Structure 1
Amino acid sequence: MVPHLITALTGPINEFEQRILDAMPAIERWFRLEWMEHTPPFYTSVDIRNAGFKLAPVDSNLFPGGWNHLSTEMLPLAVQAAMAAIEKICPEARNLLIIPENLTRNTFYLANVAQLVRIFNMAGLNVRVGSINPAIKKPTRVALPNGDAITLEPVVRSRRRLGLKDFDPCTILLNNDLSAGVPGILEEIYEQYLLPPLHAGWSVRRKSTHFKNYEAVAKRFGKMLGIDPWLINPLYDQCTGAQLGAGPGMEPLQTCVDALLTKMRRKYKEYGIDEKPFVIVKADDSKASVGILTVRDAKDLDALKRRARKALIGGDGQPGNDLIIQEGVLTQERVHDAVAEPVVYMVDRYVVGGFYRMHAERGTDESLNTPGAGFVPLAFEHSVHMTQPGVRPGASAPNRFYMYGVVARLAMLAASYELEATNPDAEVY
């Protein structure tokens, strides 16, 4: 299915797309040299927003779900990338154990796990799914919405290894973002490859750390390409110690919001952008139950105190006081008249596909990752890797997807910096 895109693109984005296409050899060499020095995350998905005047990642997931939304045409790319990733880590790999989230009743999520099983099975591995959910005490077959089925088996832990009854994997793939903390059953595994590593989970990760690294990557890339890095970088600030209740506890948050909105207004004025800037406030550690708050004026926070506390409440029932304030990026993408945003998927350092997340009931300045969202695979009439030089910006789907892939890889590179800096086993010189 080829998405029918209705995209209002003018000015800087068209110019940026042309620069990307013209500089493709230099860009690919730049990435190639980076990957000689840094290890990419095992797999990554990146949410991208295209405002028409800027293009930026707004979230990077190191335990991506949603693999079932990739089109059938793109599966060969995922399989080839999976082969390359596994061969690099464990060339003699034979058995792979996937450990998913403890969402046994969410069959749409389990369809994503089933797709991962299919990808790595086609990559030449024996693949089974092991659950660390205490409720799974025996092999449990779950029917999926598309007519498939998946079998969840209880994980068995020996002193130093993790596996299933009569199944000893050399590699363990986590599809669990560890936002509730690292279960003891996953700790101190030294004889098997655990991918991604435990410090990639939200029990350790901070969004502010990721976007600090992304800012550094964007500046270097912008200098290489000769563009303002703001065109690909969402401004952000970290706010610690805010008390989301009554009284002066909101002042640190108001100060941070006001400062970031001021920076955005300067940029909007510089580029002649006739839009009202807004920021997104969310928990820095991405607690599982935490929502987001959209703010257009720091003064509005006084009226939003109760709503702010409710939106930013954590899974433990406590408000998240360590917050990130992020530049809100509009989306001008449309799929079948619904507001949409691209999500790009990668395995190792390779772009393997993606989809458009769309929501008919959300606005251009709202999060689309909410109940009611739909998904349209990125399945173009031509190969997604074959750009079309000479075609005017915005007229070619492969060209547009290549641009998205560049920005997504920049976010993935930032994640690799992030994981290196937070690796508890890294040697200190």
Structure 2
Amino acid sequence: MVPHLVTALTGPINELEQRILDSMPAIERWFRLEWMEHTPPFYCSVDIRNAGFKLAPVDTNLFPGGWNNLTDEMLPLAVQAAMAAIEKICPEARNLLIIPENHTRNTHYLASVLQLKRIFTMAGLNVRIGSISPEIKKTLSITLPLGDEIKLEPVIRSKRRLGLKDFDPCTILLNNDLSTGVPGIIEELYEQYLLPPLHAGWNVRRKSRHFQSYEEVGKRFGKLLGIDPWLINPLFGHVENIDFADGVGMDALAEQVDVILSKVRRKYKEYGIKEKPFAVVKADNGTYGMGVMTVRDAKELAALPRKSRNKMGVIKDGQTVHDVIVQEGVLTYERMHNAVAEPVVYMMDRYVVGGFYRMHPDRGEDENLNAPGAGYVPLAFQQSNQLPQAGARPGASAPNRFYMYGVIARLAMLAASYELEATNPDAEIYD
């Protein structure tokens, strides 16, 4: 399936696409040199918004779910990338333990975990799924909607290792984003490889830090291509010490929203863009589309209803929001089945392995689509993953457009590697 790309028809995105296609050898060499200096996250997914005049990442997840939305045609890419990633970290790897999120009622998420198990099994590993949930005291078998069965087994912690009954893994793959902190059971595992590292979790990660790293990457990439970095980078600000429930810090938030909107207006004027700017306020940590709201005018915050403030003030697992990122809103002009859509690109090691469109029939082009009611349609990566069609005019080729998505996603992945280096507690510090 090749999605209908509304943005293929008009707009500077075609100029950006042409610049990226013309610069492909330089871009790939640039990435090669970067990966010689920096270690990519083990896996990640990147939400991208295509406004027609701008293409930018708006979120990067280092513990991606949604693997079940990748098509069978994409699996060989994922398996090859998994092989490369494991060989680089632990060439003699034999047993892999996947540790998922604790919730067991979300069958769509469990289908994603099962897909991960398939990928690493096909990569040549013995794979089992171990739960750190205190509720899982014996093996739990769950039948998923399509008839597949997944087995969750209780983990067993010895003094220095983590495993299952009769299963001693050399590598542990976390698919748990550690929103509520690091459980003691997975700390101090010095004899096993833990992927991603603990400081990749939301107990340490901050979106503001990630986009600060992305801003640095975007400037360097913009210089390489000779483009304005703003075309691939969402402006952002950061506000701390907010209490949405009591209204504390709302003036500072309104001021930051005003700053971002003013900057975006100047850019829109520079490029002759007639759209109305908006900002997106997000919890500075956390996922699942929680703690997100669209603001079109800073004055809206003063009149924010208590229900909306309460919704903004709490994210996954009941965590209270105190810090937020104020991000330039990027419209999405992509459509699937008459619903607003955005591409989500999946990567493992340094490779793009596939992706899908997240679409939502009840959301607007300036709203968060990661919400209940969202649907998923595979991207056409299987036709030509990272191989654009030379000579095709911009906007005329789905593989060309998806190559461009893959480039932007890899920039976000590179930013995540910068971010992880900066937050690594074991990194050597030099004066």
Verify same fold: TM over 0.5. yes
| Aligned positions of 1:242-321 closer than 5 A | 242-244=242-244, 249-286=249-286, 290-304=290-304, 306-315=306-315, 319-321=320-322
Greater shift in the superposed pair: 132-141 or 83-92: 132-141
Q: Secondary structure at the match of 2:326?
A: strand
The answer to whether the Cα contact below 8 Å between 1:2 and 1:381 also exists between their aligned partners in 2 is no
Q: 1:348 to 1:248 in 2, by over 3 A?
A: closer
**Mean alpha-carbon deviation: is it higher for 1-10 or for 161-170?**
1-10
Do the aligned residues in 2 keep the contact of 1:290 with 1:313 (CA within 8 Å)? no
SS in 1 for 2:298: coil
Question: d(CA) in 1 for partners of 2:6 and 2:287?
Answer: 34
**Aligned twin of 2:427:** 426
Contact 2:180/2:319 (CA < 8 Å) preserved in 1? no
Q: Measure how far apart 1:195 and its partner are.
A: 0.1
Give a deviation string over 1:182-227, Cα, whole Å, max 9, x none: 1110111100000000000001000000000000000000001000
Task: Please state whether the residue corresponding to 2:249 is helix, strand or coil.
Answer: helix
What residue in structure 1 maps to residue 336 of structure 2? 335
Structure-1-length-normalised TM-score: 0.97
- Per-residue deviation, 1:247: 6.7
Q: Report if the CA contact (8 A) 2:7-2:51 is conserved.
A: no
What fraction of aligned residue pairs are identical, expressed as a percent?
76
| Cα drift, residue 385 of structure 1 | 2.5
**What does 1:38-49 align with in structure 2 at a 5 Å threshold?**
38-49=38-49
Residue 9 of structure 1 deviates from its aligned partner by 4.5
Note closer, same or farther for the CA distance 1:114–1:166 as it changes in structure 2 (3 Å cut).
same
Could you tell me how far 1:343 is from its partner in structure 2?
0.3
What does residue 391 of structure 1 align with? 392
**2:326 counterpart of 1:322:** no
Alpha-carbon distance in 1 for matches of 2:9, 2:231: 14
1:353–1:378 Cα contact (<8 Å) kept = yes
**CA 1:377/1:254 → structure 2, altered by over 3 Å: closer, same or farther?**
same
- Structure 2 CA distance for partners of 1:236 and 1:380, relative to 1, 3 Å: closer
Deviation at 1:387, TM superposition (A): 1.0
The more displaced of 305-314 and 191-200 is 305-314
Alignment of 1:189-268 (within 5 A): 189-244=189-244, 249-268=249-268
Matches within 5 A, 1:13-162: 13-162=13-162
1:262 is displaced (CA, Å) by 0.4
Greater shift after overlay, 141-150 or 303-312?
303-312
Superposed CA deviations along residues 356-389 of structure 1, whole A, max 9, x for unmatched, are: 1111111100111001111011135732232101
Q: How much has 1:286 moved relative to structure 2?
A: 2.1
1:377 is matched with 378
1:111 positional shift = 0.3
Q: Aligned residues, how many?
A: 429
State how far apart, in whole Å, the 1-side matches of 2:249 and 2:90 are. Answer: 51
* Aligned-pair CA distance for 1:246: 6.0
Amino acid at match of 2:395: G
Cα drift, residue 5 of structure 1: 3.6
Determine the C-alpha separation between the residues in 2 that align with 1:361 and 1:314.
23
Partner of 2:405: 404
Partner residue, 1:366? 367
Distance 1:129 1:113 in 2: 8
Amino acid at match of 1:390: G
For residues 247 and 374 of structure 2, what CA distance do their matches in structure 1 show? 37
Tell me which amino acid in the other structure corresponds to 1:205: R
Q: Which letter maps to 1:283?
A: A
- Report if the CA contact (8 A) 1:384-1:398 is conserved: yes
Given that 1:5 and 1:336 are in contact with CA atoms closer than 8 Å, whether structure 2 keeps it comes out as no
- Does residue 1:352 correspond to 2:353, yes or no? yes
The aligned amino acid for 2:175 is N
Pairwise CA distance, 1:314: 2.2
Matched-pair contact (CA < 8 Å) for 2:8–2:396: no
SS of equivalent to 2:428: coil
Do the aligned partners of 1:293 and 1:311 also contact (CA within 8 Å) in 2? no
2:194 partner amino acid: L
User: What root-mean-square deviation, in Å, do the aligned CA atoms of Structure 1 and Structure 2 show?
Assistant: 1.6
Change beyond 3 A, Cα 1:384–1:337: same
User: In the aligned structure 1, how far is the partner of 2:379 from the partner of 2:288?
Assistant: 28
Cα displacement (A) at 1:395: 0.8
Does the 8 Å contact 1:242/1:251 carry over to 2?
A: no
Tell me the secondary structure at the aligned position of residue 174 of structure 2. strand
**Contact 2:55/2:232, CA 8 A, preserved across alignment:** yes
Report if aligned partners of 1:73, 1:379 keep a CA contact under 8 Å in 2. Answer: no
Letter in 1 for 2:65: G
Instruction: Give the letter aligned to residue 335 of structure 2.
Output: R
1:416 alignment counterpart? 417
SS of the residue corresponding to residue 425 of structure 2 reads coil
Q: Amino acid of the residue matched to residue 376 of structure 1? A: V
- Give CA-to-partner distance per residue, 1:384-405, whole Å, 9 cap, x none: 2321011111111110000000
Q: Is the 8 A contact 1:284 1:323 kept in 2?
A: yes
Compute the TM-score of the two structures, normalised by the length of structure 2. 0.96
| 1:86/1:287 CA distance change after superposition, 3 Å | closer
Q: Please identify, of 281-290 and 355-364, the stretch whose mean Cα deviation from structure 2 is larger.
A: 281-290
* Structure 1 unaligned residues grouped into runs of 5+: none
Q: Is 1:40–1:416's contact at 8 Å kept on the other side of the alignment?
A: yes
Q: In the aligned structure 1, how far is the partner of 2:133 from the partner of 2:382?
A: 42
Distance 1:125 1:87 in 2: 11
Alignment partner of 1:408: what SS?
Answer: helix
2 CA distance for matches of 1:313 and 1:248?
11
